[in-house]
Amino acid sequence: MEHSLRVLVRIDTKSSTACVEVRGCLAAETCLDLFDILRNTASLGAHVTVNLSKAHHLDASALDELLVLADKIPSVPLGTGHTTVSIQLPARLPACGHAASPEQGPPLTNDQAFDMAFLQRDPKAFRRLS
């Protein structure tokens, strides 16, 4: 399964600010896409705030990479100073169902899944299949 990045970009031209709200997955495979979005948004001449508090999934190593990349976004002269990039973090890092989970175990066979889901009504069957 693939991690997908979804973002909502809001730009306020009056205050020259932009909010990039991440709602999908920030993982190794989506980090550079987010970087491109941030760089393009900053190039419009806006202070960029990256809001990660509504992200579905935040991978710790991708977050580290994003913090490094955010420093590489060129600042643009703006009024009395230059554009900035700031990042808002949630208190803990959420993980999506596609994240590797060591306690998950091997995938179920069809017979096992059928037995768990329909005969035992075990909710783990649904979680493992998703």
* Footprint of Zn ion (CB under 5 A): 3, 25, 57, 96, 98
Nearer to Zn ion by Cβ, of 91 and 100: the residue is: 100
**CB 1, min distance to Zn ion, A:** 8
Rounded to the nearest angstrom, the gap between the alpha carbon of residue 53 and the centroid of all alpha carbons in its chain is 9
User: Which residue, judged by CB position, is nearest to Zn ion in the bound state?
Assistant: 25
Nearer to Zn ion by Cβ, of 39 and 98: the residue is: 98
**CB 96, min distance to Zn ion, A:** 3
Nearer to Zn ion by Cβ, of 47 and 57: the residue is: 57
34 CB-side CA count, 13 A: 36
What percent of the chain is helix, strand and coil (3-state, nearest 5)? 35, 20, 45
CA distances from 40 to 29, 67, 127 (A): 19, 17, 38
**CB 34, min distance to Zn ion, A:** 13
